[in-house]
Amino acid sequence: MKFTKDHEWLRVEGELVVVGITEHAATALGDVVFVELPEIATMVAEGDEVCVIESVKAASDILAPLDGEIVEVNEKLVDNPGLVNSDPTGSAWFFKMKLDDLSILDAFMDEDEYLDLIG
């Protein structure tokens, strides 16, 4: 797994990158009550707003960590947004992206670097 400074995790599955938020981010959000997912086949650029998460504390945006195409979304989160709190790095992934070059992931933090970031 790789991590962003925005508390997203990235996991390679074949030729795709799966994107979710970290346990640290899920805890900071509090109980998640709503998730708005992107449309499949949407082309996104790094930094674009891709998802909206609403919790009892606040609404937050999930930004595209990379340039690519959204090829799959996790519909389970629409019916059960609480998965973000109960299994943030497992079944609560948000979307899968197709990238032109997976080697770009080398620039992201590994788990030890991310743990240093969050202290």
CATH number for the domain spanning 73: value is 2.40.50.100
Task: Say what the pLDDT of residue 34 is.
Answer: 97
pTM for the predicted model, two decimal places: 0.94
Domain assignment present for residue 110? The answer is no
What is the domain range of residue 38? 2-105
**How far is Cα 18 from Cα 14, in angstroms, rounded to an integer?**
10
Query: Domain count of the chain?
Result: 1
Token pair of 8 as six digits? 């997203």
**In the prediction, which pLDDT does 7 show?**
95
**Nearest-angstrom CA–CA distance, 108 and 56:** 30
Tens digit of pLDDT at every position of the chain (119 positions): 999 999 999 999 999 999 999 999 999 999 999 999 999 999 999 999 999 999 998 899 999 999 999 999 999 999 999 999 999 999 999 999 999 999 999 999 999 999 999 98
